[in-house]
Homo-oligomer: A and B are copies of this chain.
Amino acid sequence: MSRIRLTLAYDGAPFEGWQSQPGDNTVQDVLEAAAAEVAGGEVRVSGSGRTDTGVHALGQVAHFDAPEGSKMDAGAWMRALNTKLPAAVRVLAASGVGADFHSRFSAVGKTYRYEIDTAPVLHPLRVGRAWHHPKPFEVGVLRAACELYLGEHDFAAFAANRRDGKEPDTVRTITRAEVEAAGGTVSVIITGNGFLYKMVRLLVGGAVRVAEGREGLGWLRGKLEDPGAGKCQYCAPGGGLYLVEVEY
């Protein structure tokens, strides 16, 4: 068996997220269709984790097992997949890995970037690629709010209910939560050892709520200290979110 690791970029706009769904147009669906066309038979592609509808990837990681007897090396797979994939998905790198590598279970960290566009009028070339937020908020307060997320916490208040009901362990460690402001765009960069369903968007939504002055820092701290007391209700839209990198 020959296992291939892929580094992928995609435009989230035309897809119903990463995860394969019957009848849906997902990134996993088009990857498996492209791989099947190249291999001449069914191929199952596993990703490091799901991304939701509209969420973009700059460095998603996935893996698959080449069919028995395949003579193609990783570079040949990359070139062949890129000829079959829609332009909205691209393999940026491919390498052969051992059977012990798993894109999801071997991952030790992930970095996301969330972009907030503060221009009075959203530029047409930014549609679906940022959260348009023209109402003023304090960048300094946003930074202070994001710093509360650093460290190990039970993030249950920042997890949407999964459709399958599973979410056994809601403790995660955030090692980076930075805010950058440049040219009308405020970006939140978050690195952690793992993320719950919609967690990054809920972290950003909650921090922006505080930066708008509509909630205090104590409200946000309470969601971390007493996660059972009530979920964060403010989920930033999918189009502003970019999966930057998966670490192994």
Q: Interface residues, chain A, CB within 8 Å of chain B?
A: 9-11, 56, 82, 87-92, 121-125, 127, 129
A130 to chain B, nearest CB (A): 12
Contact between A90 and B121, CB atoms less than 8 A apart: yes
Chain B residues near A122 (CB, 8 Å)?
A: 87, 90
Contact between B123 and A90, CB atoms less than 8 A apart: yes
Contact between B11 and A127, CB atoms less than 8 A apart: yes
Between A11, A87, A123, A125, the greatest number of chain B beta carbons within 10 A of the residue's beta carbon is seen for: A125
Kindly report which residue of chain B lies nearest to residue A14, judged by CB atoms.
B124
Q: Which 6 A-B pairs have the closest CB atoms?
A: A11-B124, A87-B127, A88-B124, A10-B124, A90-B121, A9-B124
Complex CA gap A138/B88 in Å reads 29
Complex CA gap A73/B209 in Å reads 34
CB < 8 Å neighbour of A9 from B56, B125, B129: B125
Contact between A121 and B91, CB atoms less than 8 A apart: yes
Chain B residues near A129 (CB, 8 Å)?
A: 125
Complex CA gap A87/B237 in Å reads 16
Contact between B10 and A90, CB atoms less than 8 A apart: no
Contact between B121 and A11, CB atoms less than 8 A apart: no
Kindly report which residue of chain B lies nearest to residue A127, judged by CB atoms.
B87
Complex CA gap A92/B120 in Å reads 9
Contact between A125 and B11, CB atoms less than 8 A apart: yes
Complex CA gap A125/B129 in Å reads 9
Kindly report which residue of chain B lies nearest to residue A10, judged by CB atoms.
B124
Complex CA gap A11/B123 in Å reads 9
Known contacts A11-B124, A56-B125, A87-B122; 9 additional CB pairs below 8 A are A9-B124, A9-B125, A11-B125, A11-B127, A56-B124, A82-B121, A88-B127, A89-B124, A92-B123
Kindly report which residue of chain B lies nearest to residue A121, judged by CB atoms.
B90
Complex CA gap A90/B11 in Å reads 22
Complex CA gap A82/B120 in Å reads 11
Chain B residues near A88 (CB, 8 Å)?
A: 124, 127
